[in-house]
Structure 1
Amino acid sequence: MGEAIQLAKSISDHLYIAEKFIWLPTDDNLAPHLRTQLVHHEKRRRWGSQLLESLGQAALNEWENNPHEMLKSLGSKGDEHIWTDVRFLRMISSVALPMTDSIDRPDKEGIYIIQALKGLHVISGCIAPVAPDSAPALEVWIGIHRSISELIQSADKLFTTQNTLLKDVVEVRWAIRGLVARLQIANNGLYADGMEIAGGTMLFTTPNLNARTINLPFDILHHCLPWQMNSVENDSAPDYLGYPTKDLLPDFIRSIPFNFDTLTTRTGDSVIERRGTSWLAEEGIGALAYSGKLMRPMNIPTSVRETMRDIEQWCYQSETSSLSQLPTTLKIGNNLEFIWDDCTSSDMPYTELGQFVNADSNNIGGFFDCALTNHYPDGDSACKFHTDPEHGSHWHRVTAVVSCGQSRRFAFRPIPDASIWNDWDTTSQNANQPKDDTSCAPAALSLFPGDVVFMTRDCNDLFHHAVYSSQSSLSDHVDSSRVSLVLKRALDRNGKKGHGLAGEGRRARRNNSL
């Protein structure tokens, strides 16, 4: 099976492997040695996790190369969708189901669980879950949710011990929150009246993971902005919603005046920047000092200003609802309940930004008033580990980063000699542990259009962040560009905001008046 996974390229390849090779402890007529020997259960869960991770990469490749064709080939109705495919259910169950009377270990089964949840997060970002409307499909849909719930609860239990790294906790929590946000949105439209559904409660909550990461000065707000397709050229689903869109990308590229500047390297060579940049600001805000240059402010386009207001309102509303802005529990039929949020998730968006935002603010009266914008023209364009300068002196410490276009992996790492992960770990056993190779290792996750990176407090003093190049195998003809918006707020420094530019100071004004 391992060789088959390595050779698999398409989504259908992976579903075929699940059908042909995967076995479950609940299968009838299972060979006794498979049921009773731990080594075979370890292989089952390892292969299942590798298959889910590989399926996520295949979905990412197909989405980024041709999302419309991918939707047509998969089918977009809930009854014809991968999220109601029994082979997909078996794939997830192969990792979720433990051997009877066995105990999961962080350094063994924990690795498989993390791998599976990361794969599921990517799959949900590329192939949005769609609720079914028939009994057979609903049975598979519920089974998939049951297995995902088991994976989440296993992760929440496993990664509370001193033998687990905070970096891994951060990654698995982000993956869970991205996956659950999209499942919650899909289930908001679930109709199950009159269908026979087994009872019980499924938990999609992570109180222990939330507790371990509560001190960190950053978080990911998954699916904060519903940047979705309005329509697909598909007769079976003309109004299909829920799929990350690239429709905003041309608007941003047209309306934002990007510059690809020429920079001088340390060796004296002149090179053109791999990414285009532009500094957008409201009237009265000066230049931004960035990448060894002063960037002249340009007017903020309507689409960027609307994005600012949307994120502000999301943070404002997060005080009174779950972070997905949907009910925290869902009743399905008379007996089944999904619990999405246990109120232990971070209140950072509200406490750091939302409480300062007037719910009735208009298009020019919000918190954010400037933005560094970046145009990454191809999948090879990236941004190495760095910090954003002058936060706390020229710019407010709250920063929000959102992008549209191709997906990217976003990463944080403690700045060597300034911080280590254990400094932020609430697990007492990990306090004052010696520094090693993992102390400043990056925590990274795939992000999709509408996911927001939220940074505050001393994040830019103690953590680097980076954007990795594309993970996808992109065709040459595919538009692999991406636009990111780094939203900021200028601080008033005795009537001055931002930096002045050459020729705009008092001496220049005096000389010009002569």
Structure 2
Amino acid sequence: MRAARGHHPARCTARAHRIARRRRVVARRADASDRETAAAPSAAQLVNDAKSALDILTAADSLPLPTDASLAPHESQLHHRRKRKKTCSRALQRLAKMLVGTRREDARREATSATQFARLVAGALWIDDDDETRNDPEAGVLFTETARALGSLAPFEMEEAARVNFYATAAAATLPPRCATVVAWALARCGSAVPNEVDIAMRGVPFRFQPYLTAGLIDLETLKREVPFKREQLTTRDGRRVDERRETCWMGEEHVGSYAYSGKIMQPVPMCPAVARVRDALEEKTGERFDCCLINLYPSETAACAYHTDPFMGIGYATDSIIVSVGETRRFSFRPLGSTDAESHWIRTLDGDAIWMFANCQDDFEHCVMTAEGDGNDAPRASIVFKRSLKRKSAAEARAKKKKKKPPPSSSGGAGGGRKQPAKRR
């Protein structure tokens, strides 16, 4: 039987083969496109997978910024803008952790002078016309993490546009106290002023982070040479005697008595020249005169100090106390008594930084020094905790005044209530 017109079997078969071939070609092209897409991870994935600072800086090249002429239209959408800001912030946070420590100072300086680093800073601090930082607590937390990273990586040359955005975002952001203290520290470390809004957010917080307050006044080798450090035993809460991981020394003027904590008693030794020099500089910069100090040496990366409060503050010693950091960078944290790390105020204290505690700090907050963050963060560190002893006849009066509110120091390094302003960083 003859085939119907237009439906010859051979022709139909050839046509079916051609259609099948075209479909196979399309499928192969689609597979190749999928493989190409899979082989090109996003900038966020590159940042998360980075094994080095160079990897992160390389990833920055693939991050489109609003100022780029090649910015695709969809990359201006709110969703993409938020992802880009988070990726830039995440990159800075990872850089800060990778490059922490005195042994990485050269690598940190090289990274922060790279053009890719400037792109990350610009992207993390970019402000859009419809920016919702003021009304978005989550955006405030992200900004705090960005600020903490920038403070940890400082000092470096920040582009003027980024510096303006840094200040403006700090002024506009919704910052709880645990974020405001970190942002104020970061701004000061980056050489920027602190907005009044941030100072207001810190009202009632009985401590301030004071970057660069004693920079260049003392070095660790001099301190180790002049201070007779000792490693002693402590008594734990369950009565066990254990070796203290840090080495300590108690220094004071002639009228200063012994100092005791955790079952050990230290007799004072005279204040050595290097420590006296720092003490005198603090008086000049803050108006506070100290007559004694506890000096702690953390000799290795595992030496730390768990959360605690300083004893006898407001009874045997004035409530004002200043901690001076010497040597290696370490994380330092405050948190309200009875809280968790979710409520902590933590920064990285660098050589020459100081922490001013006052008013009800020891009653309401505990503080700690954490262990190292990596191989490059393993050099020794010391802290000098300056105190002012109270005469016995003044102790009762001190207890009565302990809870009285005291004008807090301003976040730029000075203090209210007639205190002197610390010298600004040059």
- Give me the TM-score of the superposition, normalised by structure 1: 0.64
User: Quick check: 2:260–2:266 contact (8 Å CA) kept in 1?
Assistant: yes
Q: 2:160 aligned with 1:145, yes or no?
A: yes
**Structure 2, unaligned runs of 5 or more:** 1-42, 396-426
Question: Partner amino acid for 2:207?
Answer: F
User: Quick check: 2:188–2:194 contact (8 Å CA) kept in 1?
Assistant: no
> Alpha-carbon deviation of 1:495?
10
- Report the secondary structure of 2:231's partner residue: coil
Counterpart selection for 1:256 from 220, 227, 243? 227
- Deviations along 1:193-244, whole A, 9 cap, x unmatched? xxxxxxxxxxx4411010121322211111111228xxxxxxxxxxxxxxxx
Match of 1:226 in 2: 215
Question: Partner amino acid for 1:255?
Answer: E
C-alpha change, 1:205 and 1:260, in structure 2 (3 Å) is closer
Match of 1:217 in 2: 206
C-alpha change, 1:400 and 1:266, in structure 2 (3 Å) is closer
User: Quick check: 2:257–2:267 contact (8 Å CA) kept in 1?
Assistant: yes
> Alpha-carbon deviation of 1:269?
4.4
How many Å separate the matches in 1 of 2:194 and 2:313? 33
- Report the secondary structure of 2:190's partner residue: helix
> Alpha-carbon deviation of 1:288?
0.8
Match of 1:474 in 2: 375
- Report the secondary structure of 1:167's partner residue: helix
Counterpart selection for 1:456 from 353, 358, 363? 358
- Report the secondary structure of 1:413's partner residue: strand
Question: Partner amino acid for 1:375?
Answer: L
> Alpha-carbon deviation of 1:263?
3.0
Q: 2:40 aligned with 1:25, yes or no?
A: no
> Alpha-carbon deviation of 1:168?
2.0
Counterpart selection for 1:94 from 123, 126, 139? 123
User: Quick check: 1:45–1:109 contact (8 Å CA) kept in 2?
Assistant: no
> Alpha-carbon deviation of 1:409?
1.4
Counterpart selection for 1:294 from 240, 246, 265? 265
Equivalent runs, 1:404-419 vs 2, <5 Å: 404-416=326-338
How many Å separate the matches in 2 of 1:470 and 1:287? 31
- Give me the TM-score of the superposition, normalised by structure 2: 0.76
Question: Partner amino acid for 1:397?
Answer: T
- Deviations along 1:266-293, whole A, 9 cap, x unmatched? 5554421101111111112110122222
- Report the secondary structure of 1:180's partner residue: coil
Equivalent runs, 1:476-495 vs 2, <5 Å: 480-494=379-393
How many Å separate the matches in 2 of 1:66 and 1:493? 48
Question: Partner amino acid for 2:386?
Answer: L
Bigger-Rg structure (1/2): 2
How many Å separate the matches in 1 of 2:65 and 2:115? 13
Question: Partner amino acid for 1:148?
Answer: R
User: Quick check: 1:10–1:59 contact (8 Å CA) kept in 2?
Assistant: no
Q: Runs of at least 4 residues of structure 1 off by over 4 A? A: 266-269
How many Å separate the matches in 1 of 2:336 and 2:329? 24
Question: Partner amino acid for 1:94?
Answer: G
**Structure 1, unaligned runs of 5 or more:** 75-80, 131-140, 182-203, 229-246, 317-352, 354-366, 421-436, 497-514
Between 104-113 and 253-262, the greater mean CA deviation after superposition:
104-113
- Deviations along 1:361-415, whole A, 9 cap, x unmatched? xxxxxx2111111111112211111111111221111101012111111111222
How many Å separate the matches in 2 of 1:380 and 1:263? 17
> Alpha-carbon deviation of 1:33?
0.9
> Alpha-carbon deviation of 1:122?
0.7
How many Å separate the matches in 2 of 1:414 and 1:495? 28
Match of 2:4 in 1: none
C-alpha change, 1:486 and 1:28, in structure 2 (3 Å) is same
> Alpha-carbon deviation of 1:176?
2.1
User: Quick check: 1:48–1:91 contact (8 Å CA) kept in 2?
Assistant: yes
How many Å separate the matches in 2 of 1:392 and 1:304? 23
C-alpha change, 1:269 and 1:290, in structure 2 (3 Å) is closer
Q: 2:305 aligned with 1:403, yes or no?
A: no
User: Quick check: 1:280–1:371 contact (8 Å CA) kept in 2?
Assistant: yes
Match of 1:166 in 2: 177
Percent same amino acid at aligned positions? Answer: 28
Q: 2:137 aligned with 1:107, yes or no?
A: yes
**Higher helix fraction: Structure 1 or Structure 2?**
2
How many Å separate the matches in 1 of 2:263 and 2:241? 14
User: Quick check: 1:45–1:112 contact (8 Å CA) kept in 2?
Assistant: no
How many Å separate the matches in 2 of 1:146 and 1:395? 46
> Alpha-carbon deviation of 1:50?
0.4
Counterpart selection for 1:52 from 80, 89, 92? 92
How many Å separate the matches in 2 of 1:103 and 1:264? 52
Counterpart selection for 1:180 from 191, 196, 203? 191
